[in-house]
């Protein structure tokens, strides 16, 4: 019986199909009639990449601000970017030309304007009342480093604290220095023999905008009278301050410190805090100081039905 070889059959089929294909190509393109070449006219310079959409929370956020009336959230980043978020689906992206980190943002509430403070000690006033937000004014601090800014509600005065412990007052309308300066040595006088450190907090009394609460990094807090240009009270604690907040009645304020403690002060009793709390540490007996914990970086003073939080 004759053996059947499948390989030879497949080889024959392959050879037959390739020869048929060659004959078909010769019929379609006879010798001497080559297929015309298409010249490419598009070049690399005709294309340019661009961003069409941004999605997600900004990368490396460093500052936040919120306008409670217009419901706008502003987020600044370490690369100088500024993102604005409104109602769902409404957002805007801006960029500071210097690329310096945004250290603080302050809205001019319900006025469609925003102040940004950068790590290069520059302040910018943004106009948000147009389709594309733009910078209206800029102010550069050359001799002092900016550490904190405060803009009271419906006020034209922006308070700017510096690393040297001084506070400069800027007219927001003209975006120029007013000439009124609260010098650190005038603020603390004899309450401390050493420099109090950078300004880490500024806020006006909720019940009296003429009273300014100034927090220094070393632990010193000063209640400053803007009209008389002198300090009403000075409060001293031996731990560095990270955050300060007023009680809504303006009679007390609270400080968070580097050792994890919270101190509550009565405005008219500067000798010692009315209460000292260590939320994350054990309270020791006999008035001993509790063991230090991680610093509390931000504190707010809010009253609820059951007490203060």
Give the per-residue pLDDT at 282.
73
Written as one string, the DSSP assignment of 162-225 is ETTS-EEEEETTTTEEEEEEE-HHHHHGGG-SS---SEEEEEEETTEEEEEEEEETTSEEEEEE
What the chain holds in terms of domains, given with CATH numbers, is 182-308 (2.130.10.10)
CA-nearest of 130, 102, 99, 132 to 115 is 102
Give the per-residue pLDDT at 4.
53
Paired with 231 in beta bridges are 224
| CA distances for 308 relative to 253, 254, 273, 303, angstroms | 12, 11, 16, 5
Which pTM does this prediction carry?
0.79
User: pLDDT under 50 in the chain at which residues?
Assistant: none
């Amino acid at each position: 019986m004759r053996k059947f070889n499948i390989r030879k059959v497949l080889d024959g089929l392959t050879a037959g199909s390739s020869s048929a294909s060659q004959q078909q190509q010769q019929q379609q393109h006879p010798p001497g009639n080559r297929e015309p070449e298409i010249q490419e006219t598009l070049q690399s310079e005709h294309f340019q990449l661009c961003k069409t959409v941004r999605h997600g929370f900004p990368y490396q956020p460093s500052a936040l601000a919120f306008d409670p009336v217009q419901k706008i959230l502003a987020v600044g980043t370490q690369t100088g970017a500024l993102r604005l978020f409104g109602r769902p689906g409404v957002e805007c992206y801006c960029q500071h030309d210097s690329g310096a980190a945004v250290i603080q943002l302050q809205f001019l509430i319900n006025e469609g304007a925003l102040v940004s403070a950068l790590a290069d000690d520059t302040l910018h006033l943004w106009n948000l009342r147009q389709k594309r937000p733009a910078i209206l004014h800029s102010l550069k601090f050359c001799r002092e480093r900016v550490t904190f800014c405060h803009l009271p509600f419906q006020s034209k005065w922006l308070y700017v604290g510096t690393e040297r412990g001084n506070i400069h007052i800027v007219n927001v309308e003209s975006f120029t220095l007013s000439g009124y300066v609260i010098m650190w040595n005038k603020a603390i006088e004899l309450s401390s023999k050493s420099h109090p450190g950078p300004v880490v907090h500024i806020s006006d009394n909720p019940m009296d905008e003429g009273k300014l609460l100034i927090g220094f990094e070393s632990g010193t807090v000063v209640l400053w009278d803007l009209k008389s240009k002198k300090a009403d009270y000075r409060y001293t604690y031996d731990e560095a301050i990270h955050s300060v907040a007023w009680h809504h009645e303006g009679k007390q304020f609270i400080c968070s410190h580097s050792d994890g403690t919270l101190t509550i002060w009565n405005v008219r009793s500067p000798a010692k805090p009315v209460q000292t709390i260590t939320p994350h540490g054990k309270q020791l007996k006999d008035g001993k100081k509790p063991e230090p914990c991680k610093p509390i970086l931000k504190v707010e003073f809010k009253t609820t039905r059951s007490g203060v939080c």
